[in-house]
Structure 1
Amino acid sequence: MNLEDLRAVRSRERSSDSLQDLRDSFYEEVADYIQERKDERERAAAEADDPFASSEVQTLTDEIETAEQVSEAIYERRMGKLVKQASLAAAGMTGNTEGLTNEERRLYEDLVARIEENKSHVLDVLAGEADAHDESAGGGASPDPIDAAHANPEPDTVSDSSDEALTPDEPDESSAAAAMGSDLDTPDESPDAAPSTAAGDDAAADDGTAENDSIEDEAERTTVRITRDVGDVFGVDERQYSLEAEDVVVLPSENAKPLVEKDAAEEL
């Protein structure tokens, strides 16, 4: 296991709407790899005259942080797909569970059981056979795995958009387009562009596109080079970006400024 392996897994996960096969122990192997890097960093720091100035220590630190970010992106991307599969299974359709890790399989089984239980309770309420406020029957007040899994249901519109390039995520996280690409479509910022009153423009406004365009046009934008993996960022222009080291992207200034201040990007 190494950083390139993790990035390859993330790219494949983003480029497909279905769950790719992972070993049962995938997350355990990732944890072991990260711990090995941390142990190596401690050794390098102990041997260095000045650990804070050691290039080896800094390189290991960057590798550890990137591995943690990429691993989290993989997990979140897979959770969106897993929830969909659990919903299908609970509805009596076939859910594809091949290739799940040990942790994901336990969550999947729990999700299916809870969805089925909740559905049964709702049907009983509709039939007048159960109390809608009976938490023990399927609605409970305590948080459950469904809430956790929904915390990042295919955020990407994906392209989870960070692989090797920045691309706005698609609604179902159609990650394929964003994985490893750097074709970011930026809105027309020409100061001379005047609002059109043509019938075609009115039609576009009716479609709801005019409102989105105005949001993007109003946002001042800055071109930056990403200096370390950042992950998914939701822009003030209502686009989702996935930022990876060495990407050159155009971001809303309000999003770019904090990245520059934290040395995660440099303005071009």
Structure 2
Amino acid sequence: MNLEDLANKLVLERESDRLQPLDDSFYEQAAAYVKRLDQARKEAADYKEAGMIDDEIKNARILIEGVFDRRMSKIIQYAAIYAAGTRLSVEGLTAAEKAVFDGLVAALERGRAGILLPALDVSPKASDDALKVRLAKNILGGITTKEQPIESSAALSRDAGSMDADTELMTVKVLKDIPRFVGVDGRQYQLSGDDVVVLPKANALVLCNKNIAIPLHNP
């Protein structure tokens, strides 16, 4: 392992909203790398060489922490979505990160059961579908309702041209089933995994940021 390896890992993590492949032993390898540098600094022939090695150690620690922070931010986001009822397939976790993810999900689910559901006057034993509808606003940034007609993905694609000209649109592919929600255009949406739809850009970006959909192209 060297600085270039660490920098490449960080760039990959920053360029994607998804967790990138990472060896289970990554942090152990990183620790061994820093330890080797520290030993080399102690054995340096002069202050100049020691200073150069010291700079490499500092840069290595910055990169390692950057990779950790970026991956943890994604894991926290995944856990929040998962605990809200959207069972995403979370891939790319190391064994240690999987333990963190499971712990976060468990803590968030306890928090919802003990704090949110009593405030909503919802029994913890309420059906999953009912909870998903109530909590869709948290996931999608929209307001759920049962009174408005539901737009299917086919109808959405067909009617995209008739939307308000002021509404900026975005085409996305849906990765998972999504609870019913109302977009910023006032329409109600109910989407399934693998649907390709045109949505208001504000809602589409929320879905993409939550790793529930991926952008395709603007219509």
Work out the CA distance in 1 between the residues paired with 2:92 and 2:24.
8
Q: Deviations over 1:88-142 (max 9, x none)?
A: 2112223343222233222111100001111111213543989xxxxxxxxxxxx
Q: Which residue in the other structure is 2:75 paired with? A: 82
Q: Which residue in the other structure is 2:60 paired with? A: 67
Work out the CA distance in 2 between the residues paired with 1:110 and 1:129.
23
Contact 1:13–1:78, Cα closer than 8 Å, also in 2: yes
Q: Which residue in the other structure is 1:116 paired with? A: 109
Q: 1:96 to 1:37 in 2, by over 3 A?
A: farther
Q: 1:30 to 1:80 in 2, by over 3 A?
A: same
| TM-score, normalising length: structure 1 | 0.43
Q: Which residue in the other structure is 2:23 paired with? A: 23
The 3-state SS of whatever aligns with 1:107 is: helix
Aligned length: 123
Q: What letter matches 1:61 in structure 2?
A: D
Map residues 179-194 of structure 1 onto 2, 5 A cutoff. Answer: none
| TM-score, normalising length: structure 2 | 0.52
Q: Which residue in the other structure is 2:2 paired with? A: 2
* Misfit runs of 4+, over 3 Å: none
Work out the CA distance in 2 between the residues paired with 1:76 and 1:5.
17
Q: Counting helix residues as a fraction of each chain, which structure ranks higher?
A: 2
Q: Deviations over 1:165-186 (max 9, x none)?
A: xxxxxxxxxxxxxxxxxxxxxx
Q: What letter matches 1:98 in structure 2?
A: E
The 3-state SS of whatever aligns with 2:108 is: helix
Contact 1:85–1:96, Cα closer than 8 Å, also in 2: no
Work out the CA distance in 1 between the residues paired with 2:91 and 2:24.
10
For structure 1, the 5+ residue unaligned runs are 131-268
Indicate the percent of aligned positions where both proteins have the same amino acid: 39
Map residues 243-262 of structure 1 onto 2, 5 A cutoff. Answer: none
The CA RMSD measured in Å over matched residues stands at 2.0
Q: CA deviation at 1:39?
A: 1.0
Contact 1:86–1:95, Cα closer than 8 Å, also in 2: no
Q: Which residue in the other structure is 1:33 paired with? A: 33
Q: 1:36 to 1:96 in 2, by over 3 A?
A: farther
